[in-house]
Amino acid sequence: MSFSRVGACCILAAISYLQAAEVWTKDLEAGGRQAVQEGKNLILVFTGSDWSSPCQSLRQKVLEAPEFSAFAQKFILVSVDMHKNPKMTAEELARLGALQSQHAVAIFPSLLLIDARSGEEYGRVAGYDNASASAYVARLSSFENSPEARLKRRNEARARQAEMKEASVNQGLIDKAVAARDYPAAAAVIDRIFKGLKGPDKAKGTLQKAILSYRIDRTQTERTWNLLRLALFEAEDDKETERSILEIANRIAPAKKLEKLQPASNKSKEKRAEADGAAVKSAPKLPQSASGRTEKE
């Protein structure tokens, strides 16, 4: 291949890259107007381009892939980038934060399909699990833009917004308790959040209490360590949960081995069961009649 031909290919590749980069807009309102004019819908991506590994992977493996480019021809693409560098102005942060709250986005990245005329969401993929571009696009293609689908998404959004509001309130109470060095108050919030959960889910709550115990008062080493031991017991051999617990334990006390702590209530039940069993074994046997019935009967 001649130098001139190689150079031409490089120029074309550079032009294609720049054109692809210009496809994305940061202005949702302008993107919405353009979508209506062109008879298209919107793809709205919430990302953290310079701090979120899943967001970076989504961009590299999916958003820059030919499969996504072909799918995206029917959409106007809008990016909401909650980047850290350069630092956003207070006005920009407030504007993007309002969009995040409006669309009840709690996970980065999140890709939303928006009906341009109604402004309503009809599809969402939250997070990124390293799916291939073709698998990701197939998932996007499975969403149907219908009144029923938009109603379902609207109800889901309301539920997410309520959850986010509750989470914000709880976080405020925890922050207040930490500032006041009030562990019982912080633990009460965690207990309320994780109430009724069992197994690994319950263990995650106990782990949060251990972390708060350590943050609030590092002299309470026995309390913190016992909470970690209890969490390990509650994890019920779930490897991922155990790994998180052991990682925290290693940070707090690298030279100490963490062993499961069985709750006192369970221990007392076992002791009662053992005592009952011993009582049954030691009880005198009543003599039986010829019919096989005891004399007491």
Q: At 14, is the secondary structure helix, strand, or coil? A: helix
- Tell me if 229 sits within 8 A of 258, measured CB to CB: yes
Residue among 133, 4, 125 at smallest CA distance from 59: 133
- Tell me the sheet residues that pair with 78: 25, 44
Domain boundaries, the chain: 20-146, 180-252
pLDDT digits (tens, 9 = 90+) for 118-158: 999 999 999 999 999 999 999 999 999 998 988 988 898 88
pLDDT digits (tens, 9 = 90+) for 171-222: 999 999 999 999 999 999 999 999 999 999 999 999 999 999 999 999 999 9
Q: Which residues contact 42 (CB under 8 A, 6 or more apart)?
A: 28, 31, 32, 35, 75, 76, 77, 78, 112, 113, 114, 115, 116
Between 34 and 266, the more confident residue is: 34
Q: HSE-up of 236 (CA within 13 Å, CB side)?
A: 7
Domain 20-146, what fold? Answer: Glutaredoxin (3.40.30)
pTM: 0.57
pLDDT digits (tens, 9 = 90+) for 65-123: 999 999 999 999 999 999 999 889 999 999 999 999 899 898 999 999 999 999 999 99
- At residue 264, the pLDDT reads 67
Q: HSE-up of 179 (CA within 13 Å, CB side)?
A: 6
In the chain, the DSSP E strands lie at 24-25, 41-47, 75-81, 110-114, 121-126
DSSP per position, 255-283: TS-------HHHHHHHHHHHHHHHHHHHS
- At residue 12, the pLDDT reads 42
Residue among 111, 89, 116, 104 at smallest CA distance from 28: 116
Separation CA 261–CA 264 (nearest Å): 9
Q: Looking at the predicted structure, is the pLDDT value of residue 266 above 70?
A: no
